[in-house]
């Protein structure tokens, strides 16, 4: 059997390496796009509440990040925090309901 070589790599191996690289690239691109869709703030939603400045740096509640709602090794499958707080602790802003944090009930 004669194997074609591409850049010194046998044909099957070249195909497997190419597929692996393509899948890894897709994984990294998809994660960034998916995370952006999950992040809720005035820019991502087009909201005009609080003059279009909530969940962003310098805006109402401070900047929302993944850490706003999630923490590593939480006791639930989605790693959701038991308490979600305003991200700017020195702000006078409160969440709806009047407090700076809310307890999450599962």
The model's pLDDT over 28-76, given as tens digits with 9 standing for 90+, comes to 554 444 555 677 899 888 899 989 999 999 888 889 888 999 999 999 9
Joined tokens for residue 44: 């991502």
> What residue spans define the domains of the chain?
9-38, 40-106
Joined tokens for residue 79: 């790693």
What's the pLDDT band for 20 if we cut at 50, 70, 90?
A: low
pLDDT, tens digit, 9 for 90 and up, residues 66-85: 899 999 999 999 999 999 98
In angstroms, rounded to a whole number, what is the distance separating the alpha carbons of residues 99 and 93? 9
Joined tokens for residue 78: 């989605």
pLDDT computed for residue 33 by the predictor: 47
pLDDT of 6 higher than 80:
no
């Amino acid at each position: 059997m004669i194997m074609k070589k591409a850049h010194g790599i046998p044909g099957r191996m070249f195909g497997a390496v190419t597929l692996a690289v393509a899948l890894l690239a897709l994984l990294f691109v998809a994660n960034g796009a998916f995370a952006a869709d999950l992040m809720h703030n005035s820019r991502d939603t087009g909201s005009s509440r609080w003059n279009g400045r909530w969940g962003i740096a310098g805006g109402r509640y401070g900047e929302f990040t993944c850490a706003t709602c999630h923490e590593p090794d939480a006791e639930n499958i989605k790693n959701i925090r038991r308490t979600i707080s305003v991200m700017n602790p020195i702000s006078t802003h409160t969440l709806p309901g009047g407090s700076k944090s809310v307890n999450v009930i599962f």
